[in-house]
């Protein structure tokens, strides 16, 4: 279990030799399981200059002043999706988003007889 699944990449030389021992890997950070599904596609698009051109205005809109950094991130981490799949990664979602915007987070409590997932409510953020 770890916070940011990107941290799996530097550990993969060890983990890759022990995949048969890994039953499941859990992470937070991504806040939604669907991120694992679109991540490989974003890495592929970011690695292709041809595909990047039509999508660049959209990324500039959603990531003002940071679009190039976002593309660079996906290019540099293009192997992460494959690593996540091989270690059977599952994301523990934060309902509604991060920083308590959705009213809380799901927390996995590891116990001897399994994992208990509970929602922790967070106070509303003041603007």
Structurally, the chain folds into a number of domains equal to 2
Confidence band of 19 (pLDDT split at 50, 70, 90) = very high
Residues 78 and 105 occupy one common structural domain: no
Same domain, 50 and 64: yes
The listed range with the strongest mean pLDDT (4-18, 63-77, 86-100) is 4-18
Closest by Cα among 121, 95, 115, 117 to 107: 117
Same domain, 70 and 110: no
60 is a domain residue: yes
With a cut of 70, say whether residue 100 has pLDDT above it.
no
Lowest model confidence (mean pLDDT) among 21-25, 49-53, 111-115: 49-53
Residues 50 and 80 in one domain: yes
Question: Taking the model in full, what pTM does it have?
Answer: 0.62
Q: What is the C-alpha separation between 107 and 88, in angstroms, rounded?
A: 19
Q: Is residue 18 part of a domain?
A: no
Q: Quickly state the pLDDT bin for 32 (edges 50, 70, 90).
A: low
Q: Is 17 a member of any domain?
A: no
For residue 6, what pLDDT is reported?
86
Quote the domain boundaries for residue 33.
1-11+23-93
The residue-averaged pLDDT of 105-118 equals 76
pLDDT at 96: 55
Cβ-count burial 94-124 (b if 16+ within 10 Å, e if not): beeeeebeeebbeeeeeeeeeeeeeeeeeee
């Amino acid at each position: 279990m770890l916070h940011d699944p990107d941290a799996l990449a530097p550990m993969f030389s060890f983990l890759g030799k022990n995949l048969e021992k890994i039953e499941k890997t859990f992470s937070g950070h991504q806040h939604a399981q669907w991120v694992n599904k679109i991540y490989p596609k974003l890495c592929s698009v970011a690695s292709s200059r041809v595909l990047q051109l039509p999508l660049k205005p959209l990324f500039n809109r959603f990531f003002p002043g940071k679009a190039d950094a976002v593309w660079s991130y996906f290019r540099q981490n293009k192997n992460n999706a494959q690593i996540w799949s091989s270690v059977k990664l599952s994301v523990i979602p934060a309902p509604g988003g991060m920083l308590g915007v959705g009213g809380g987070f799901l927390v996995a409590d590891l116990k001897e007889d399994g994992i208990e997932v509970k929602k922790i409510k967070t106070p509303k953020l003041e603007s």
